[in-house]
Structure 1
Amino acid sequence: MSGSAATLFLCGDVMLGRGVDQILPHPGSPELREDFVRDARSYVRLAEAVNGPVPAPVDPAWPWGAALPWLAERDPDVRILNLETSVTRGNAFALDKAVHYRMHPANLPALAVARPDVCVLANNHVLDFGRPGLEETLVSLRRAGLRTAGAGRGAEEAYAPAVTPLPSGGRVLVFALGSSSAGIPPSWAATPGTPGIAYVPELSAQTAAAVVRHVRRAKRPGDIAVVSVHWGSNWGYRVPREQIRFARLLVDGGVDLVHGHSSHHPRRLEVYRDRLVLHGCGDFVDDYEGISGYEEYRDDLRIAYLVTLAAGGPDAADPGRLTGLRMLPLKARRLRLEPAPRDDRAWLRNVLVRVSDGVHITADDSEADGSLVLVRSPAPARGGTGP
């Protein structure tokens, strides 16, 4: 990082459970209780039917593939991901869930190899194996030296930000929230005496005001505030009006970056008052390869987001202002991320431009990796919150 800029790596859902867990060195029980699939190894066979044999056991770096050398070359200051997997050996399947994700704690090197600074847990799979599974997840991640946000042994811990210091003297604060719009049961909410997640029942102005008050209590001069939100449906490009307003109210209140996830494919991005809002980062690592039904959305294409923000010490002017966005298109193949071919990169760029009003994205021909770059995005009038 230079003295006046901070770089953040962001991605969407990282699901190292189920089929991915089965090809890692320490697979847990393959038992599933889905309507049509009862063995997690079936998802490995689905991937193999599409793209060929998947080795097992694989090195912990295997699922990340081409993303790791790209990150190593750019060395971002802070790495943030949504860990949508329970880390547990437990077998108490949540009764109100149709799909359950778990990875064996001994496979955590497959997460640590990406060097995440913050693992967001406020999502609709972290309690797939109940509160005992959540508590084992928290303990396992803590023992592995991995910082979390959005879940805890009580409300205070769940709603507390994860804090990463910057060399400039400022900090990156990551607050994580799980919305009912992503199918999170209200019973998963953390309470003062009950483990759970940081839960928001609705994306209303009142909820946004409560989040802003929480952010302002923690944020100091020179800090960058990130709110990571698990929200919205799995498929489709339409972003609800209340979600757009919620994000803009957060920015109006002092949030510098909104990191949205839950959709299985990338969604709208916008720049509002010089702040970046990612409404849906899409999946990143998972075992969805070979599952049919939504081919039109190309959920095999993934994006690694590298965001550059103005930074500096406590006296810096406007820390958190967006100064650059680079996106690396990747493609899931054999349960691994590979560079996306040229035609796929062009398809993804065209989709992002079409669904993101006023945003101009271009291919960076100066880079051999085929990354996409945000060139400009006119911001709405200061203070407005309508879409």
Structure 2
Amino acid sequence: MDAARPLRVVFGGDAMLGRLVGKAIARFGHGYPLGPLAATLAGADLAIVNLECALTACTTPWPGEPKAFYFGAPPAAVLSLADAGIDLVSLANNHALDFGVQGLRDTLQALDAHGIAHAGAGENLAGALRPALLERDGIRFGMAAFCDHQSDFAAAHDRPGIAWIDLENPARAADDLRAALTTLVEAGTDWPVLSLHWGPNMVWRPSPRFRRLAHAAIDMGWKIVFGHSAHVFQGVEWRAGCPIIYAAGDLVDDYYVDPGFRNDHQLLFELDLDARRVLKLAMRPLFIEDCRTAPAHAAARDWILERMRALCRDLGTHTGIEGELLTSLPQ
């Protein structure tokens, strides 16, 4: 490895490629939703997102309690991820089984066929808990993924599903996180990443309980906490030089834009690191419009930067502005 060259790891929030996004892909091509970000994503050494839909032609919804929304994208939508440079996705979320076990199996098959690693769901509990392992320039990354809602999606020893975690039981949750970390440590991982699909929608700040859990995760040895689910970004926090991304927001979707939350105003999180430490965190403002995500225009960028600076300040995190990016150094 060239010791003078840090690696860049990019985290994006929820990628929902179904409904109107799927129709846009069919009309304009698979490069449409993330094409404006492809240079940034593919230019990173590792690009990680939460896949907030099934990749399937199945139209039979999950047979459990009816949901307000079911997110399914055509299998070919996997090319939107692959061609944009996405390397790894979390599947531990409340939409992975929206179209049942068949939808999950189709998703796994599509990702595997295009070399996109995944964690957080599988054919059984062991598969759902199995971490994704990737190496870049001799540095080993590993990610385990959990979700705290949609408990009926939970994998079991004899049932496909997601890695569900009971955050209402802190002791049990800590045991689950510790077990997952042990697996990554035994695999020789330099950078264990904890992906958490947690908490309510449209909430700007992590709860005290979530902050305690994130702190405990770093204290036990996780090096990066990658949170998502809120559909808006939350402030980042440093602990022992390790970043906690409480909520990465959305990467692409077709959702109704709430004027009070401006959930079309988003961020991409970019970490520069070496084998031992994070060197810098940069946050790139994004704007989602017509099922397509691009670098934010000036007015949106100013709003995002101001909002994120305030949210970070609330968590004791110092930030600065470098050109169009918001940056923070380890604290």
TM-score class, shorter-chain normalisation, is over 0.9
**1:106-185 to 2 correspondence within 5 Å?**
106-168=76-138, 170-180=139-149, 184=150
Query: Residue 202 in 1 paired to residue 155 in 2?
Result: no
Count of aligned pairs between the two proteins: 324
1:222 is displaced (CA, Å) by 5.9
Give 3-state SS (helix, strand or coil) of 1:177's partner: strand
The aligned residue for residue 58 of structure 1 is: 28
CA separation of 1:310 and 1:173: change in aligned 2, threshold 3 A: same
| Divergent runs of 4+, >6 A | none
What is the TM-score when the length of structure 2 is the normalising length?
0.92
Show structure 2 runs of 5+ residues with no match. Answer: none
Contact 1:349 1:361 survives alignment (8 Å):
no
Task: Give aligned-pair identity as a percent.
Answer: 31
Per-residue Cα deviation, 1:229-261 (whole angstroms, up to 9, x for no partner): 100111121311111111111111110000000
Q: Please tell me whether residue 212 in structure 1 is matched to residue 178 in structure 2.
A: yes
CA apart distance, 1:155: 0.8
> Which residue does the alignment assign to 2:206?
239
Alpha-carbon displacement from aligned partner over 1:240-290 (angstroms, at most 9, x marks no partner) = 1111111111111110000000011111210011000000000111112xx
- Name the residue aligned to 1:254: 221
Q: Say which of 260, 264, 270 aligns to 1:306.
A: 270
SS state of the match for residue 296, structure 1? coil
One-letter code aligned to 2:56: T
2:155 is the counterpart of 1:190: yes
Matched, 1:295 2:265: no
Q: Residue in 2 aligned with 1:3?
A: 3
**Following the alignment from structure 2 to structure 1, what is the Cα–Cα distance between the partners of residues 209 and 221?**
19
Using the size of structure 1 for normalisation, the TM-score is 0.80
Q: Secondary structure of the equivalent of 2:238?
A: strand
- Does the 8 Å CA contact 1:205/1:246 hold for their aligned counterparts? no
Rounded to whole Å, the distance in 2 between the matches of 1:2 and 1:265 is: 37
Contact between 1:359 and 1:377, CA under 8 Å: does it hold in 2?
no
Within the alignment, does 1:361 sit opposite 2:285 as a pair? no
**1:377 Cα shift?**
5.9
1:165: how far off? 1.0
Unaligned runs of 5+ in 1: 26-56, 312-318, 379-387
Whole-angstrom CA distance in 1 between matches of 2:135 and 2:45: 9
Q: Deviations over 1:354-386 (max 9, x none)?
A: 222222222213xxxx12211x464xxxxxxxx
Which amino acid in the other structure matches residue 360 of structure 1? H
Please give the root-mean-square deviation of Cα atoms over the aligned residues, in Å: 1.8
How far did residue 107 of structure 1 move?
A: 2.8
- Counterpart residue number, 1:16: 17
SS at match of 1:70: helix
Which of residues 257, 264, 267 is equivalent to 2:231?
264
- What is the SS of the residue equivalent to 2:230? coil
Distance in structure 2 (CA, Å) of the matches to 1:99 and 1:334: 19
Give 3-state SS (helix, strand or coil) of 2:155's partner: coil
Letter in 2 for 1:194: R
Q: Which amino acid aligns with 2:34?
A: W
CA distance in 2, matches of 1:154, 1:217: 17
Which protein has the larger Cα radius of gyration, Structure 1 or Structure 2? 1
The residue matched to 2:96 in structure 1 has which SS?
coil
The AA in structure 2 aligned to 1:84 is E
Contact 1:268 1:352 in 2 (8 A): yes
Q: 1:352 to 1:310 in 2, by over 3 A?
A: same
Task: Give the one of 326, 344, 352 matched to 2:308.
Answer: 352
Cα distance in 2 for partners of 1:127, 1:133 equals 6
Residue in 1 that maps onto 2:326: 372
